[in-house]
Structure 1
């Protein structure tokens, strides 16, 4: 009977299962992206990793996601979204299994590389599937449900990873996500449907290759500026110039550069880049501080960081209602103002009681909640529905690039501060110093976002008054 049900599924049933599919995958990907933060100390101890190697475990995943998601978008929309979503899910299952059984660093990093490729495919394909399958009010409602479950994955990731790592092992942590992927694959197979978006266009292979190499070189150069990375930085900027020239002269470019002529759109993406830069690296720093400096186990660390995600979801729901009444730029700026308070408290982490840091986690979540609800609407309002895929992919890339740059900068600063130490053990002062420097950088970036958001709000308000006076 179940088989017949899937075969005779109508449009409404298909919509429901596509939304369930999106929820399952985004939920899993959010946990995968964040759980490694809590598990790194345990992985480092088991596999005997150096500081550089443990840093690479996180960085390689993020770099591949941001390098591949834009090129994958055009490719899979032409050759079949469902087919490549299946490949992404299967690759994800394989990569999780590889990481779970990895006997050494080389095998583990191969698993992480495959996870990066898998996540890029899944995120891109789910975005396209929702856009191509859903329409009208169902589209808006479906996107809201999927994003909410994604936030749910973010909420549970710290608690989930902390408890499993401490009471079972980090290897079980990777295996525990496989059932979610298998259920998603089952739903996709039973849907038995394919989605195409732009079957008539040509793929910009040249632009895709240049973009991929540019992102890899830029991320690597930022991580190792104190060494050979300084040589890669000018090459990265040359590739960026080449990429812009190529894209301008291509009939079907990798990305619609005309969207970048809109200051509102650009500032919205920059703001997203900065906020994700700050929130990701703050949690990353606190994780190391709590496990190495305060000697917390992974389960307690996960519980300690949990309020950040919970407060973010609660406030995002509340702030979402405010976006209807108040200007989204001002609400985003308010989130950034609150974020400054959180980063300032964490800047003083070595001089204040631990419960102050706990309160800072709650404040961090409140700031992110205000920002996410308003920023999503800010960016969406600046573009037409026909550009949804390009704009949403670019917004996702901006956020993941923010995480990547923050991590690369953290590795650079920690390399300079730690010197030849090569490990976090026994170097607690260096760990705190690195965290403090990152918080200072974060505060400066947040101020820049506040100035830009208020500036564009003031400009738009002045322009609207001129129109009304005419």
Structure 2
């Protein structure tokens, strides 16, 4: 793809970044309007637009045309994802809703991990255009099945925050572009982004039906769960990209072997997902998610030494990543979505989905910036210096280590802080030797 469309190295990741930027920018606004105009109707329109965008991708004559198709695919995918969440919220009973949303989120996780390895085989055996053409029969089947459904999901019409939606879309676009181009123009974009953020918060607090439910962020446990989801997608998404580049350009491994390596994580994750869901019924989901995040952190540490370790260690790291993803997804989704009240569940679902996609775009943006700094406009290929790509991967993996480690600490802290029963004997001992001001503070904390 890079050779046929003449993509330089610092633009190559915009293929994914354009899609993710569009997805994140439109997710929250779509969550507010889809159910009011009909879920089935919006799904049909989104599928038709997705079909058109796929054809544009296949018949693109230059990079700009291809990136435009990725932009369309981003917001149509956002519409489909949110429509699915709204459909489930409307269709399932309260006692089944959390489990249903967890299963759907896990299925999306599996698809995200399987796609790169499967498409590696397709590209190796045939060409990259077929990777997009495969979507056409899938879209056709979905449209046929959708036409067999007579029921339409429509909720009570409420005022839509058009001003807030527009500001949010501009905010996410400015942030995405500014973060990946930290030159003079990029810094200006980030400054403008901060101004838009202040305006967005002010506007959202003044309207009765804001697109962002600020009440959710007051729940620290909910915020930690969303951060952990963001950290997981942050690490997993960029690890797939970085590992694929390293195997192909540094180790000079054929695409079909790269696909076999990348498929290790999805296979293990599929096997672990059902087990982790049942395990979360007996063990606190935060503990399971924390252990899963430890696996992801260890795999990132192994990938940090990618240029020094034998090939078998790479396979072990892929297995650890699959185990971490499989253990994390269902328990964390279940935990986060059961923290909120029933009326806030659609908002909570959209924010959780946005957190995951934001993790993708953040990691892709940071890696794009790292590649631009280390490699610049040089094309990736045999003539390019491998050490620069290795250094870029090392820096990115170090960031992944920091992100996963912080998420691990926060998950265990959430369990200790909010569900910890203090030892009364220890409390009485320290109160007996503490000064008066400390005793008062301990009494207040113990009451809380």
Q: Distance in 2 between matches of 1:352 and 1:140?
A: 42
Aligned to 1:414: 371
For 1:184-223, list aligned pairs within 5 A. 184-199=142-157, 201-223=158-180
Separation (CA, whole Å) in 2 of partners of 1:420 and 1:138: 51
Partner residue of 1:169?
127
Q: Residue 409 of structure 2 aligns with which residue? A: 451
Q: Distance in 2 between matches of 1:93 and 1:143?
A: 26
- Equivalence for 2:55: 97
Q: How does 1:337-416 map to 2 (within 5 A)?
A: 337-416=294-373
Distance apart, 1:149 and its partner CA:
4.1
How far apart, in 1, do the equivalents of 2:254 and 2:156 lie?
50
In the alignment, which residue of structure 2 is the partner of 1:46? 4
Q: Name stretches of at least 5 consecutive residues in structure 2 with no aligned partner.
A: 425-444
Aligned twin of 1:34: none
Cα 1:402–1:48 shift into 2, 3 Å:
same
- Whether the aligned pair in 1 keeps the contact of 2:25 and 2:172 (CA below 8 Å) is yes
For residue 166 of structure 1, report the CA deviation from its aligned partner: 1.1
More displaced stretch, 344-353 vs 132-141:
132-141
Asked if the contact 1:155/1:310 (under 8 Å) is kept, the reply is no
Aligned position for 1:181: 139
Structure with the greater alpha carbon radius of gyration: 2
Instruction: Tell me, in whole angstroms, the C-alpha distance in 1 between the residues paired with 2:283 and 2:106.
Output: 22
Instruction: Look up the match of 1:27.
Output: none
Q: 1:245 aligns with which of 202, 207, 221?
A: 202
Distance in 1, Cα, partners of 2:99 & 2:223: 26
Q: Using structure 1 for the length normalisation, give the TM-score.
A: 0.86
- Structure 2 residue aligned with 1:9: none
Matched position secondary structure for 1:234: helix
Q: Contact between 1:63 and 1:215, CA under 8 Å: does it hold in 2? A: yes
* DSSP-derived class of the 1:228 partner: helix
User: CA, structure 1 residues 252+424, in 2 after alignment: closer, same or farther (shift >3 Å)?
Assistant: farther
2:27 to 69, 75, 83: 69
Separation (CA, whole Å) in 1 of partners of 2:375 and 2:446: 59
What residue is the counterpart of 1:131 in the other structure? 89
Give the number of aligned pairs: 427
Which of residues 253, 263, 270 in structure 1 aligns to 2:220? 263
Deviations 1:239-268 (A, max 9, x none): 112111111110111121111110000111
Aligned-partner Cα distance in 2 for 1:298–1:224 = 30
Q: Could you give the per-residue CA deviations for residues 192-214 of structure 1, whole angstroms, max 9, x where no partner exists? A: 33211231x11100100000000
The CA distance in 2 between the partners of 1:93 and 1:235, in whole Å, is 35
SS in 1 for 2:3: helix
Q: Give, in whole Å, the separation in 2 of the partners of 1:330 and 1:138.
A: 23
Alpha-carbon shift at residue 463 of structure 1 (Å) = 6.0
Partners of 1:465 and 1:204 lie apart in 2 by 49
SS of the counterpart of 1:275? Answer: helix
Q: Which moved more, 1:240-249 or 1:314-323?
A: 314-323
Distance 1:235 1:59 in 2: 20
Are 1:226 and 1:412, in contact at CA under 8 Å, matched by a contact in 2?
A: no
- Alpha-carbon distance change, 452 to 146 in structure 1, aligned in 2, over 3 angstroms: closer
Q: Distance in 1 between matches of 2:196 and 2:397?
A: 31
In the alignment, what sits opposite 2:431? none
Q: Root-mean-square deviation (CA), in Å?
A: 2.1
Distance in 2 of aligned mates of 1:465 and 1:90: 61
SS of alignment partner, residue 252 of structure 2: coil
1:170 CA displacement: 0.8
Equivalence for 1:437: 395
- 3-state SS of 1:108 partner: helix
Change (3 A) 1:148 1:254: closer
**Cα separation, 2, equivalents of 1:429 and 1:78:** 53
Give 1:278-357 correspondences, 5 Å limit: 278-357=235-314
Question: 1:464, CA displacement in angstroms?
Answer: 8.7
Residues 1:460 and 2:418 are matched in the alignment = yes
